[in-house]
Amino acid sequence: RLTGQQQEINNLIQRKIAVDEENACLKNEFSNLNQKFKDKSQELKDTEECAQKKEEQNRLVIKNLEEENKGLNTCCADLLNDLEKLRKQEAQWKTEKSGNDARIKNLETDLAEAREQMKELRSICSNLSSQLAVKQEELSQKDSDVMRAKKELQELQNLYRQNIKHTAQQAELIKQLQALNTD
């Protein structure tokens, strides 16, 4: 009977050793798992922190982009206004250009007419110049005739004065002769 108990004790000891070994193995595995859990927890914490930082950075980037977008929208609105103004200005310039083109055409027509008139006036002027030259020649001739006539008139006046003097002297002589005759 003792041998049976001894055998049972041995079996129990064997089982206890096996259980202790299994327990040590499980403890070791638990320790490893616990370390892995700590590592994973730290990794998760680091990942969360990194994600939080990334999220913060993304929020900042989004905020900056939104502000930039707002600025770009304002700039775009200004550019559209400028474009509209430029289009209106272009339309106005086209209208003005059309008016100016018509005016230029009229001026060119007027200029052509003026050139034609100038040609006619030059022709008239040339004829008048020729006539003037003839008239100047005639006037020169008449001046010469007038000078000759003046000279002749001067001579005639001189002769007339001399004639009056002679007549006066003759009258005086006649008087004297009459007086002598009477005496």
Confidence of residue 3 (pLDDT cuts 50, 70, 90): confident
**Mean pLDDT of the 118-138 span:** 95
* pLDDT, position 160: 95
Question: Would you give the distance in Å from CA 122 to the centre of its chain?
Answer: 44
* pLDDT, position 39: 96
pLDDT greater than 70 at residue 131: yes
> CB-hemisphere CA count at 13 Å for 20?
6
How far is residue 75's CA from residue 56's CA, in Å, rounded to a whole number?
28
**Mean pLDDT of the 92-110 span:** 95
Helical ranges in the chain per DSSP H: 2-182
Strand, helix or coil for residue 135: helix
How far is residue 115's CA from residue 123's CA, in Å, rounded to a whole number?
12
pLDDT greater than 70 at residue 2: no
> What residue ranges do the domains of the chain occupy?
1-181
At position 6, the amino acid (one-letter code) is Q
How far is residue 50's CA from residue 43's CA, in Å, rounded to a whole number?
10
pTM for this predicted structure: 0.39
Q: How many CB atoms lie within 10 A of CB 77?
A: 10
pLDDT greater than 80 at residue 1: no
* pLDDT, position 133: 96
Q: Mean pLDDT for the chain?
A: 94
**Mean pLDDT of the 96-118 span:** 95
Of 138, 158, 161, 162, whose CA–CA distance to 150 is shortest?
158
How far is residue 135's CA from residue 125's CA, in Å, rounded to a whole number?
15
pLDDT per position as a tens digit, 4-35: 888 888 999 999 999 999 999 999 999 999 99
- Please provide residue 94's backbone torsions phi and psi, each rounded to the nearest 5 degrees: -65, -45
DSSP type of residue 183 = -
pLDDT greater than 90 at residue 51: yes
pLDDT per position as a tens digit, 168-178: 999 999 999 99
Q: In residues, how long is the chain?
A: 183
